Amino acid sequence: MSRDVTLEHVTIRFGSHTAVDDAHLTIRSGEFFSFLGPSGCGKTTLLRCVSGFLEPTEGRVLIGGEDMRGVGPNRRPTALIFQNLALFPLMSVAENIAFALEVRGVGRQARRKRAVELLELIALPHVGDKKVYELSGGQRQRVAIARALAAEPQILLLDEPLSALDLKLRQHMRSELRAIQRRVGLTFIYITHDQGEALTMSDRVAVMSEGRIEQVDEPLAVYDHPKTSFVASFVGETNVLPATVTGRDGTDVTLQTDGGLIVQGFAVGRRQYRAGERCQVFVRPEQIKVAPPEPGPNRLAARVLAEEFEGNLRHVSLAVGGSVGGSGGAPAVGALAVGGQPLRMSVVNDGSLPPLQPDAALTVTFDPSVASVLPEGPLARA
């Protein structure tokens, strides 16, 4: 039976405040789907609406095609996992896992058998008789998932379940969670403000801002082809160049940045720009390269401001003075030309680029096909 979750024009208001604004999408059965957005964008509100703790002000939630209006949380095929796990400290791990079955009146032997199966599933086969306090944070998180699965939900709703764990454990738990989801084949709906979590685990991601869903796509598409200025600036590092359109040829757009650079990019969504229109150009730091000697588009005269070393990567801040072959040469020491911000370039630390000294002059470039041109819009706050 299909367990698609459909949000049909769901709007949720608290008084005059719109927490979720016209969410309209379908989460497919068996999908690992994440809602990603900054604090306060409406993620938890939306999840509470799917779980039945909250009714939409407008629109409908359908699960498996069935309208969930008036269907309470305990009658929906969902289970919710929070950041604060609330495992029972005095019970053993196995008793914790089997708790939902005990409530339903399942006998001791059947409960024990199911707990053993679920402990296998979460790759902790030998901890059934331990107390919760004897487990690490990551182990407890997995036990919480096993406990939720014992109730045999079709859809697991996860509300920032990893945010209380330290960084290393969080990263480890990403692959654990993904592996568990693949093993059980259930729909996972995951909410997070952590883009790394959303991008690594999900089949698809919905990026939210101020109650609105800005983009729903596979992780790579969200990163490589952001559809709005908010998504481009929220997901991953990027350079933002405020600019004015000077010309267009199909999806190729020529622009003058506010710092006076002439650059070329591509029109996201094949938008037809007019000359004089205000827009923003987004280029990832890893797409900025030291230019080869051959002529080409987007050759910018730059001067090194600083270099930061981060193990596998080097992050270089650049002042950019002018387009090589166009106006200006290397910028004056200390100059800035990209929307008042240095241009950021990230290079892999593989020895191919010698260390860069502050004030060194160089020419950098980026391919027009990786420079996303979007209409001027609100950016994510840094």
Residue number, 37 or 153, with CB nearest to ligand ATP: 37
Find the part of the chain contacting ligand ATP (CB under 6 A) among 13-21, 79-87, 171-179, 312-320.
Answer: 13-21
Distance CA 245, CA 262 (A): 10
Find the part of the chain contacting ligand ATP (CB under 6 A) among 34-42, 124-132, 233-241, 356-364.
Answer: 34-42
Distance CA 145, CA 247 (A): 54
Q: Taking CB under 6 A as the rule, does residue 39 contact ligand ATP? A: yes
Residue number, 45 or 280, with CB nearest to ligand ATP: 45
Of these, 2, 9, 14, 134, which contacts ligand ATP (CB under 6 A)? 14
Q: Taking CB under 6 A as the rule, does residue 84 contact ligand ATP? A: no
Find the part of the chain contacting ligand ATP (CB under 6 A) among 36-44, 109-117, 122-130, 268-276.
Answer: 36-44
Provide the minimum distance between the beta carbon of 16 and ligand ATP in the complex, in angstroms, as a whole number: 10
Q: Taking CB under 6 A as the rule, does residue 40 contact ligand ATP? A: yes
Closest CA to 7 of 54, 39, 40, 41: 54
**Strand bridging mode 343-348 / 361-365:** unpaired
Distance CA 61, CA 67 (A): 6
Residue number, 82 or 244, with CB nearest to ligand ATP: 82
Q: Taking CB under 6 A as the rule, does residue 195 contact ligand ATP? A: no
Q: Taking CB under 6 A as the rule, does residue 43 contact ligand ATP? A: yes
Helix (H) or strand (E) holding 119: helix 108-121
Q: Taking CB under 6 A as the rule, does residue 16 contact ligand ATP? A: no
Report the 10 Å Cβ neighbour count for 270. Answer: 8
Q: Taking CB under 6 A as the rule, does residue 45 contact ligand ATP? A: yes
Provide the minimum distance between the beta carbon of 214 and ligand ATP in the complex, in angstroms, as a whole number: 13
3-state SS string over 245-281? EEEEECCEEEEEECCCCEEEEEEHHHCCCCCCCEEEE
Collect all residues with Cβ–Cβ distance below 8 Å to 369 and sequence separation of at least 6: 266
Distance CA 315, CA 348 (A): 9
Site of interaction with ligand ATP (CB under 6 A): 14, 17, 19, 37, 39-45, 193
